[in-house]
Structure 1
Amino acid sequence: MSQFLLTWIITAFSLLITAYLVPGIIIKGVMVAAIAALVMGLINAVVRPILVLFTLPLTFLTLGLFLFVVNAISFSLVSYFTPGFEINSFWDALFGSIILSFVSSVLSQALEPKEV
């Protein structure tokens, strides 16, 4: 349970950092970021695998680069379902999803409990 909370907090904080770095992404508060992190978890667990499966031939033809588009679509869906979270364009969603992945992975590595 503590790992879930840590991941949720890291994702919410990463969303806030991403909104600060990408001008086309607007988050209207910390609570909105926390709700968006929960919605993102649900979309990544349910919708994203279906999108990946349906776009597998296109992903194969582009040598995996189409997964960036799938991530941007998933990120846009999060903003659609979360009031107070806005993404202005597809390009903002694309750059935002890339920055979110990078920031989230850096924070996860920094805050990961060390094994003794």
Structure 2
Amino acid sequence: MHLLLRLLINAFALWCAARYIDGIRYTGSATGLLGLSLVFGVVNAFIRPILEFFSLPVLLLTLGLFALVLNAAMLLVTSWAATKLNIPFFVDGFGAAMLGALLVSIVATVLGWILIPSEKDND
């Protein structure tokens, strides 16, 4: 249930980015948006840890602010993978990816706080 809820939250966050950020477009259906969210989750699960490992010195030096650049890179990789999978999601450059990644992070975090109970609430 937790995984499905996280998938729906990411789908909504990606929809918000496509709706409100110039340079990010999604022209598909709601079910395609769930597929996009799945692609986004796979990219973040497999590629992001590798990039974090190799950029660890920069992450430490910038006190974690470089994570925003990694988030933007993950959005660009998601756009590339979605295009290869015929999902109509496009990010037009790094600036749009930075703004989109910031919005996706904020929306997903806030909705996660609201909709997903923490482990200490289950005790």
TM-score of the two chains, using structure 1 as the length reference: 0.89
Q: How does 1:7-46 map to 2 (within 5 A)?
A: 7-29=6-28, 30-46=30-46
Question: Any stretches of 5+ residues in structure 2 without a counterpart?
Answer: none
Q: Is the Cα–Cα contact under 8 Å of residues 18 and 96 in structure 1 kept in the other structure?
A: yes
Mapped to 1, the partners of 2:82 and 2:26 lie a distance apart of: 10
Question: 2:115: which partner in 1?
Answer: 111
The total of aligned residue pairs comes to 115
Letter in 2 for 1:90: F
Identity of aligned residues (%): 37
Task: Name the counterpart of 1:75.
Answer: 75
Report the counterpart of residue 88 of structure 1 in structure 2.
92
Spell out the pairing of 1:58-73 with structure 2 (5 A cutoff): 58-73=58-73
- Range with bigger deviation, 9-18 or 84-93: 9-18
DSSP-derived class of the 1:86 partner: strand
- Equivalent residue number for residue 54 of structure 1: 54
* Structure 1, unpaired ranges of 5+: none
Q: Contact 2:18–2:25 at 8 Å: present in 1 too?
A: yes
> Is residue 99 from structure 1 mapped to residue 94 from structure 2 by the alignment?
no
Given residue 14 of structure 2, which amino acid in structure 1 is its aligned partner?
A: L
Moved over 3 A (4+): 113-116
Q: How far does residue 109 in structure 1 lie from its aligned partner after superposition?
A: 2.3
Cα 1:61–1:19 shift into 2, 3 Å: same
Q: TM-score, normalization: structure 2?
A: 0.84
User: Deviations along 1:34-72, whole A, 9 cap, x unmatched?
Assistant: 111111111111100000011111222222211111111
**Match of 1:72, as an amino acid?**
A
